[in-house]
Amino acid sequence: MAGSDLMKTLMFTINNLLQQEKYKVALAVLKGFRNGAVYGAKIRAPHALVMTFLFRSGSLKDKLKAILKATYTHSRNLACFVFTYKGLQGLQQKIQGKSLQSHAFLAACVGGWLVFGENNNINSQINMYLLSRILFALSRLAVEKGVIPAPKQDPFPLFATLVWGIVLWLFEYYPHTLQPSLQSSMTYLYHDSNVWHDISDFLVYNKPRTISQK
């Protein structure tokens, strides 16, 4: 009974603390860290699982280690970035007494340099993912602000034409310039489909199953 009362008191105290306006910025930073960790794990774990079992060789133990490492790295980095970004944004707002657009840019620049500045596979994938999104967003913003005229026709077909033309040209003649994961995917699609020996590796398997010979 005493334990139950203690738990109720503890929960009441915590919930009361969470409602305090003076702690809102600090608490938002902590929840941002939590959300970054959870979201990073949610989106990396399935991706790492699929890519590892499709394209990575090695034992099951090695594959599971690779999946856990990739998931942990993505989750940790995103959590640390959100923590840094929200913390610096809140600090700038407190110093200047108001929120400015430059606060978001500067806080994110510092966070990006500290967290995503290391050149590794996880950070490279995240940064390039964001690059494609911001190029789209900046194009739309330029039209919205009148910097460039609105296109008379939908530019998406031209965009798709150039994207696929360039990426396949790079893959066929300069594959070393592409990300390893993209190289693996394209090799599976465009090069592995040129090789088969019988019906087994034509329809059932991508490559012939090795049979140990005595």
CB 206 within 8 A of CB 187: no
CB 78 within 8 A of CB 40: yes
Q: pLDDT digits over 88-98, tens only?
A: 999 999 999 99
Q: Does residue 161 or residue 202 have the better pLDDT?
A: 161
Q: Does residue 97 or residue 12 have the better pLDDT?
A: 97
Q: pLDDT digits over 155-183, tens only?
A: 999 999 999 999 999 999 999 999 888 89
Q: From CA 125, how far away is CA 73, in angstroms rounded?
A: 12
Does 213 have pLDDT greater than 50?
Answer: no
| Closest among 129, 135, 29 to 74, alpha carbons compared | 129
Q: pLDDT digits over 55-94, tens only?
A: 788 898 999 999 999 999 999 999 999 999 999 999 999 9
Among all chains, which residue has been given the structure tokens 């990426």? 167
Does 51 have pLDDT greater than 90?
Answer: no
Task: Say what the pLDDT of residue 2 is.
Answer: 67
- Delimit the domains of the chain by residue range: 1-117, 121-150, 155-213
Q: pLDDT digits over 135-159, tens only?
A: 999 999 999 999 999 999 999 999 9
Q: What angle do CA 126, 130, 133 make, to 5 degrees?
A: 150
Among all chains, which residue has been given the structure tokens 């940790």? 76
CB 31 within 8 A of CB 68: no
Q: pLDDT digits over 111-132, tens only?
A: 999 999 999 989 999 999 999 9
| pTM, two decimal places | 0.81
